[in-house]
Structure 1
């Protein structure tokens, strides 16, 4: 019996659910609701006459029949998707939907300057961007790709550099510095109020400095610990303490005189932003175009 068009769609849904073992995450990838996916899969199971998934309140697990079906159809469907994506490159106006997970600083410093131009050039490509500093499994979360600082990208992913290495500096408002003085050495930070930053893996960021051959990493004191750089900027602007952050984020405030750099002889340099994606899936045209545009415009150098 020929396979109906609706059944092809349901097979696509089934493969996404099997890949993520979650209706919610599969729905995020496909752009449809979890309830619609569940309804479609029940219909597919009824037509095939076998149970493909065992559903519990916490998980979705393939049955033996489901695992056999996945193994039989995954490669052909991947080949079809790759072929269609290749054809997309020949369109006058590429289409598609891309889901990205990016940290807060990358959203404002890297993507912010690029997105207006991307939308103008590729109006039919839909970008769905989730901004969070939490380190998540982007594939498990239904994302096509993620952005992280270099050195934190999972080893099983393909990574492409999107920016030059970034200089990290310490700043304080004129009022704070007049009240508490200027640190002359990183060790002096022990006597200051420091705005501490919590990383996406829940650890506290140590302030790292280099001067010549000397390198220092300081676990700074402070009563404020924040995981969002924009909230830290607000606290900094109010004179709540010293901030350690990427120089591109702080440059405008320095130029406007809202805060001043201290410990200028001590600079910390960290790896720039990288985009990363699974080596097991084809690169969507929309993602390739976004990467190419960032590398063309170089908002943070390259």
Structure 2
């Protein structure tokens, strides 16, 4: 039985849901309502006479038939998407919509610096930005690309550097130092109040220091643990404890005197920001334009 035009459209919906394993995220990606997506797939299953998804209130999984269908049609739909995206080269103004997932530090240090130019230069390209420090599957969550610190990008992704390496420092407010003194060696942190850091994988970060080739990692003590650098910064400015952060984030407060570097001869250097995306999917025009603009403007030098 030949496929109808409606079947082809619904198969595109099927591919999106199969990739996301979630109707809501697929609907956001396709810019349709979750109910419309559900009705479309239900109609497709009825016309084919085969169930493609196992659906519960908590999960969406493919049936064996659904897995076989996805394996057969995913690549052709990718080719169609790529062909449509490539047509942007023939437009006077690029168009499209991309979704990116970024760390909060990247939102402040990178995106805030380049987006004014981006929106002026490419008014027909829509950028949907999600700021999230947690480690997530960007493809499964419906994102076209992500931005993370070097060394934390998943190995199966293509990554491009978009900033120089970054120096990481420990700092405290003048009020904290006046009350408790300043550590002079990383081991001294065991006797201080520290604002601990919870990473995106839920592990507590051990502060890293380096001096003259010697490297030390410290499991810092402290009553307060945060998972956002801005929260750590706010607490550090108010004297809650010694904090640890990227020098570009701390710089304005160091220059104003609201924070002071402690153990200035101890620091560490980490990989800068990288934009990353799937090696199995084409790169949307908006992502390519954004990467080019990062390199053109070099907001972090």
TM bucket, shorter chain: over 0.9
Equivalent residue for 2:157?
157
Q: Distance in 2 between matches of 1:120 and 1:2?
A: 46
| Secondary structure of 2:113 counterpart | coil
Equivalent residue for 1:215?
215
Q: Distance in 2 between matches of 1:88 and 1:145?
A: 19
Equivalent residue for 2:59?
59
Q: Distance in 1 between matches of 2:161 and 2:32?
A: 32
| Secondary structure of 2:209 counterpart | strand
Equivalent residue for 2:237?
237
Describe the shift of the 1:194–1:44 C-alpha distance in structure 2 as closer, same or farther (beyond 3 A): same
| Secondary structure of 1:88 counterpart | helix
- TM-score w.r.t. the length of structure 1 is 0.94
Residue 233 of structure 1: how far off its partner (Å)? 1.4
Equivalent residue for 1:278?
278
Residue 2 of structure 1: how far off its partner (Å)? 6.8
| Secondary structure of 2:44 counterpart | helix
Equivalent residue for 1:26?
26
Equivalent residue for 1:263?
263
Describe the shift of the 1:64–1:231 C-alpha distance in structure 2 as closer, same or farther (beyond 3 A): closer
Residue 140 of structure 1 pairs with residue 140 of structure 2: yes
Residue 277 of structure 1: how far off its partner (Å)? 0.9
Equivalent residue for 2:192?
192
Query: Size of the alignment, in residue pairs?
Result: 301
Residue 64 of structure 1: how far off its partner (Å)? 4.0
Equivalent residue for 1:175?
175
Equivalent residue for 2:71?
71
Structure 1, gaps ≥5 residues long: none
| Secondary structure of 1:300 counterpart | coil
| Secondary structure of 1:250 counterpart | helix
| Secondary structure of 1:114 counterpart | helix
Residue 269 of structure 1: how far off its partner (Å)? 0.7
Q: Distance in 2 between matches of 1:174 and 1:70?
A: 60
Residue 161 of structure 1: how far off its partner (Å)? 0.8
Residue 116 of structure 1: how far off its partner (Å)? 1.4
Q: Distance in 1 between matches of 2:272 and 2:150?
A: 6
- TM-score w.r.t. the length of structure 2 is 0.94
Residue 172 of structure 1: how far off its partner (Å)? 1.2
Structure 2, gaps ≥5 residues long: none
Residue 282 of structure 1: how far off its partner (Å)? 0.4
Residue 41 of structure 1 pairs with residue 41 of structure 2: yes
Q: Distance in 2 between matches of 1:248 and 1:153?
A: 21
